[in-house]
Chain A
Amino acid sequence: MTDTTRTVLIGGEAGQGLVTVGELLSRCLVRAGWRICVTQGYQSRVRGGHNTWAIRFGAGEIGAPVESVDLLVALDQETIALHRAALTPHALLIADEKFDALGLPGLRVPYAQLAAARHANVVALGVAGTLLGLTEEEMAGAVEELFGKKGTDTVAENRRALAEACRWSVAAGASLPLPGAPPPSLPRIMLNGNEALALGALSGGLRFLSFYPMTPSTSIALTVAAHAAALGVVAEQAEDEIAAVNMAIGASFAGAPAMVTTSGGGFALMTEGVSLAAMTETPLVVMLAQRPGPATGLPTRTGQEDLEFVLHAGHGEFARAILAPGSPEECFLIARKAFFLAELFQGPVFVLTDQFLADSYRAVDPFEVRELPAVQAGYSGDVAVPYRRYAITDDGVSPRLLPGQTHHLVIADSDEHTEDGHLTEDLEVRNRMVDKRLAKVEGLRWETLPPRFDGPGGADVLLVSWGTTGAAAAEAAAMLRERGTTAAALHFTQVWPLDPGQFLGALRAARRVVFVEGNATGQFERLVRRETGFEAAGHVRRFDGLPITPGYILRALAAAGIAQGVNA
């Protein structure tokens, strides 16, 4: 497949303004009509180290990064050596004239002549943007918006630096061969996975968020907090994750649709609360942005290691749902769905993402939030008197009144309890209550999102993915097809409960089924086998902390002898 995309990689130390250049350049590309897929690589430090902001852009939809680089913007010397091997044959380098370019073609920028050192990031933007066909006007708009809050002097200084950079770049005359111009489109928004989760939650009815900061989940909470006052939402930073989950459960019990946001280590502290939400039948949304473990692991990298953890978290047996979006669009829709599922089935619902998607900016068609309903907490119809919070029902779901909203008393207990909510050690009641709570599993299964099938049925190779690896698998399948292998992709955005009727036929029809996932032990592959008995022919696994790319999949398939002759 001829790659019609290009990748710009900006590299430098933490604290050099790399994120500013990256965000501005990304926004300008989106406004010019391009689709983007951003991959952020950073280290667990505030200054120094080596950070990257890679933008893959093109005219069509893009959901996965590639390793190759067409334009390398080196904010420090180290970047040039580190990424030299990834450069394509036509690639260009943008670097300070003082750096050793290692013989690479490109632009040696006289940063010191063009602007003061503090404006180096805007100079880099101007040079890179010009090479990518952006006009000074397009970039000036984004610069003014970003620096507007800092006053007119700051805006003017940055505008001058940008003008100098653009003038110099045009005079230098270099340009990067670009794929065809993007087709005209309605203006898109630019946001990352975490922001999309936050907006989806707000649109779905979120009223209470409690959290303890933890990379890479924190920006979900920060996005909600930024709009909390305006939207009438409480965003509370708790003293620890244990407090966070118990606060959310208390708020939800009292009638505020609630969620917590965290990563694996923080979620480890929340597991007792998951069990509490299930026992008290309180709606709870848990958003978990995965990073590699165990323990502190690789705090700023990506992985899909916590599926089995989330599937089994919490003592005792109870119903739960686990959703796994693969793009910002899916983040938005799935965050909304999580709130409806939690309210409908009165228990814990999980949204699993990871660092790659959390930080990956994309160009997205604006969400039509005006048209979308929000969940309403609690039951508003008539209830039998005396009211019993845990009245036995066929589907296990009892009318949930909210305390203080009627004259009925609402009693919830973490102990095993009677229908009226008081603790009991009557073991006959115990049996009925277990059956009632587990009846929700079947209800949840009715609501399971079907996996998305992409490609010909009965393919020679079927790539199965879940969550954030979906786009890479679909692109790899398309590349295989172009090279003569019949290949298809099956992407799961819900991984529990599974409904084998939705996918077992497709698995059986394919000649070789390969599971693609970001962990070392094949957690989803094992889960599907456990639930269906299906044995896969092979797998592609990645656990070095970097996102799975189409090229990574093709190389792994070739190495495993599943798809020969692939040179990606």
Chain B
Amino acid sequence: MTTVAEYGTFETAWCPGCGNHAILGAMKEALAASGLAPHQVLFVSGIGQAAKAPHYLNANLFNGLHGRALPAATGAKLANPALKVIVESGDGCTYGEGGNHFLAAVRRNIGLTVIVHDNQVYGLTKGQASPTSDAGFVSKAQPEGVHAEPFNPVETAVALKANFVARGFSGMPEHLAGLIRQALAAPGFALIDVLQPCVSFNKVNTFAWYRQRVRELPAAYVPTDWAAALATAVRWGEEIPIGVIYRGSRPAYEERVPALAAGPLVGRTVDRGRLAEIVGHLR
């Protein structure tokens, strides 16, 4: 039995009213509800305000480089699949700087739980457009508005058949905690794109803006139907669906790597006899 208290309470560097606070709370709820002890969990994050989140709870942490959380997490998971590896970063880090890694990680279906704080703006660098900013979004860096179309991470993850794809909203923390708990239990790559307001730099996609648009998927929704999931994933605008959008059944990458069949890499040592045979074959 694990309690929320074991995950601790820390002072944060976030703005009052930031969606990050609620995501952090939901994360701790979900971890405790999943029965995971802090030492069994490894958070891997990049750089950005969201990437600081794992500093504010008790768990192992590798806070690496901007955009590079996914490959670092992939390496850690392959080294020790027994670890519950959670990637937590923002939309700029995960979808912008780390875009190629995002595609590759979904294709691998590596067993990571990926929580993306998606506020459609760069917060830490003070307000430039992010890959998920809507077209026309005006910032000091894009004074005439964003000319590119936004990246839809949920659509992309469903198209590439990640095993678990969900969208949450920081304004509904209990719903979000439920999504995180399900993601933690799902084998393979699990993505939760979490809509959150940036109270300092995004005056368009505000708390009220999201509150008006998010719609929980109906109870009858079947996330295992890939074509239906894809149709749901592309919906964005006046109505934005939240919940578990797709569930697949591909085997996790780490289950397909032959070297891991005998257990984690950590703690194992060289089979000198086998190596001697390999050297011998060079005669």
Contact = CB atoms under 8 A, between A and B. Distances in A.
Interface of A: 31, 187-191, 195, 199, 202-203, 205, 207-208, 210, 227-234, 236, 238-240, 242-244, 246-256, 258, 272-273, 276, 280, 366-367, 369-370, 372, 374, 376-377, 402-415, 421-423
B259 interface: yes
Given A276-B65, A405-B266, A232 B259 contact: yes
B276 A404 contact: no
Contacts of B144: none
A505 B52 CA distance: 53
Given A239-B101, A256-B79, A246 B65 contact: yes
Nearest to A374: B270
18 contacts: A188-B283, A189-B279, A190-B283, A208-B78, A228-B259, A229-B258, A233-B259, A239-B100, A246-B68, A250-B71, A250-B79, A370-B272, A377-B266, A403-B80, A409-B38, A412-B61, A412-B63, A414-B65
Contacts of A415: 63
Which one of B77, B80, B266 has the greatest number of beta carbons of chain A within 10 Å?
Answer: B266
Given A409-B59, A411-B60, A414-B65, A248 B271 contact: no
Contact of B76 (A244, A250, A407): A250
Which one of B52, B71, B267 has the greatest number of beta carbons of chain A within 10 Å?
Answer: B71
Interface stretch (B16-24, B40-48, B167-175): B40-48
Contacts of B39: 403-404, 406-409
B62 A253 contact: yes
Contacts of A280: 62, 64
Contact of B262 (A202, A205, A232, A406): A232
Nearest to A404: B83
A190 B282 contact: yes
Contact of B78 (A227, A234, A276, A421): A234
B268 interface: yes
Given A203-B270, A255-B80, A250 B279 contact: no
Interface size class of B (residues with CB under 8 A): 35 or more
Contact of A207 (B61, B82, B268): B268
Which are the 10 A-B pairs with shortest beta-carbon distances? A250-B75, A255-B266, A250-B72, A251-B75, A247-B75, A256-B79, A403-B60, A189-B282, A246-B71, A239-B104
A254 B259 contact: no
A177 B60 CA distance: 69
Contacts of A191: 282
Contacts of B283: 31, 187-190, 366
B181 interface: no
A243 B260 CA distance: 20
A422 B75 contact: no
A200 B266 CA distance: 19
B103 interface: yes
B52 A423 contact: yes
B259 A238 contact: no
Contacts of B265: 207-208, 232-234, 251, 255-256
Given A242-B68, A376-B269, A377-B266, A411 B78 contact: no
A443 B47 CA distance: 32
A101 B153 CA distance: 65
Nearest to B84: A404
B283 to A, nearest CB: 5
Interface string B247-283: 0000000000111101011111111111110111011
Contacts of B74: 236, 243, 247, 250
